[in-house]
Structure 1
């Protein structure tokens, strides 16, 4: 499958697409392909495009790690504002992590503002529930921390560390009942943690809710405990992703495992992943996830 056929598959053949960014134009405003031509804008500095011929999506990729990120104001991307008791979605991304100093969790993309305005976000390296470098599918039905915790602890988390220096295909889905984390076309199964049972839908942040961000999320600068209660102080964009993003897409429904696998296989001819041994395929039983 050539690039043109792949783009057609993603934007025409698989239903539910909202927007797909391939980062092959300029780095001052990335216009999406698909039904909604939403524009990602740089913030906090420049997010450069760099050449990488191994990128599954094309010769250019957006480079994160300098402290800059991309976003779309909430008011400009209404169909990415996925929320409600019946909400479902998928995020897929082609990434190449870069090594560097030890760092915390890394946000790839979503509507996730930790000032009590969390909705959904695809993460790496969440560091909760005995996890480290795996794919994390964060969802929230309440916007704030999980009751009894300082932070949101509700996420599907895979079992496999995402490698550095190699192109990887990562994804999350949420169908209103289960969140799931995928790596290289397969559910990265991990007992009750992936897929993760989380009925209740996704928080509605209203007009003042989270923006759609890529490469970072908004959060308090610090959280301190006072009289046994967590108090938020300051505001920053943090949880920075370090590496390249070659492609990113959001669907307004939960893709099924066969569709995730199909998208991965279709992109393989453009990637080093094709030459790497594949882990045993693990497919969620949809009947058991209702």
Structure 2
């Protein structure tokens, strides 16, 4: 039937189909090998002032908030650049435009994978997710550096800083019996400043898990974190998808401060083998000179023998 079209319309149709096909193929090789269930992937190579467009069949546009958000010229992960998010800035997709990013329900599954370099020391840095604390519209979100972690066996929080956290909620508001949501996994390893790492969370309907550089960063009673209730359905008035901040206490906050070079969201939970393969297929830039120096073992000079 397409052959009967007027030559002009035929040309336009071919151009459109070519563009759609090119967009669908426009994924890094490391992502094409792990494309099953992939909702969106961003590489953050765009210039400041431009929306960050995802790769894949359904483009998602992250708009700058409190921008323009400059790109780092110190090298990226999936290209020469990355986005340098300063505290107080973030990216957002409005609720009506979430489509498959609106992951919810009793059978919901999700993976959030982010390639980031931490710069700021502040607590409660939101990396990415659908999470509105102010209006009780929490669904899922990957966080960095909560001051506490929740022990699953006690449902109490204890000091646990500089980790990554996979937050999940089936109720949207605070955990029953609590003012806030405390259902989240927490990693065993502290995340240093000035280094690129692959940080990830998964939820498979049974547990929230967090991964560091592709490996399940297990910590007894903290990671994995049992949670079988599913994810909240925020409805038409639910939370937007945000990168670098969430709405809490009536205003925007929980700001991420650092560099983000890649972000992938899946509507399924990657297993341990898949997460490791994905992380290992993406070379990370070396740490900054300052970070590398901080890793050097400290040598205490020996005292000279007494004369």
> Residue 122 of structure 1 aligns with which residue?
142
- Indicate the structure (1 or 2) with the bigger Cα radius of gyration: 2
1:107 aligns with 2:121: no
Q: Of 253, 257, 271, which aligns to 2:285?
A: 271
CA distance in 2, matches of 1:171, 1:186: 9
CA distance in 2, matches of 1:127, 1:66: 18
Cα distance change on mapping 1:47 and 1:247 into 2, 3 Å: same
CA distance in 2, matches of 1:29, 1:183: 28
SS of equivalent residue, structure 1 residue 23: coil
CA contact (8 A) 2:143 2:164 kept: yes
SS of equivalent residue, structure 1 residue 267: coil
SS of equivalent residue, structure 1 residue 35: coil
Cα distance change on mapping 1:160 and 1:12 into 2, 3 Å: closer
> Residue 225 of structure 1 aligns with which residue?
none
Q: Deviations over 1:140-197 (max 9, x none)?
A: 0000011121210000100111110010110000001110001111001001210110
1:178 aligns with 2:192: no
C-alpha displacement of 1:240: 0.3
CA distance in 2, matches of 1:167, 1:6: 21
| Residues 114-153 of structure 1 mapped to structure 2, 5 A cutoff | 114=133, 115-129=135-149, 130-153=159-182
Q: Of 30, 33, 42, which aligns to 2:52?
A: 30
CA distance in 1, matches of 2:81, 2:174: 37
Runs of 4+ more than 3 Å apart: 11-14
1:43 aligns with 2:60: no
Q: Deviations over 1:45-98 (max 9, x none)?
A: 321112122x32221111112411100001112100000000001000100011
CA distance in 2, matches of 1:109, 1:38: 14
So what's the TM-score if we normalise by structure 2? 0.79
CA distance in 2, matches of 1:121, 1:68: 17
CA distance in 1, matches of 2:72, 2:122: 23
CA distance in 1, matches of 2:106, 2:256: 30
CA contact (8 A) 1:11 1:33 kept: no
CA contact (8 A) 1:57 1:247 kept: yes
SS of equivalent residue, structure 1 residue 202: coil
C-alpha displacement of 1:6: 7.6
1:216 aligns with 2:245: yes
> Residue 231 of structure 1 aligns with which residue?
none
CA distance in 2, matches of 1:150, 1:65: 29
So what's the TM-score if we normalise by structure 1? 0.83
Structure 1 residue runs without a partner (length 5+): 221-234, 277-290
CA contact (8 A) 2:112 2:264 kept: yes
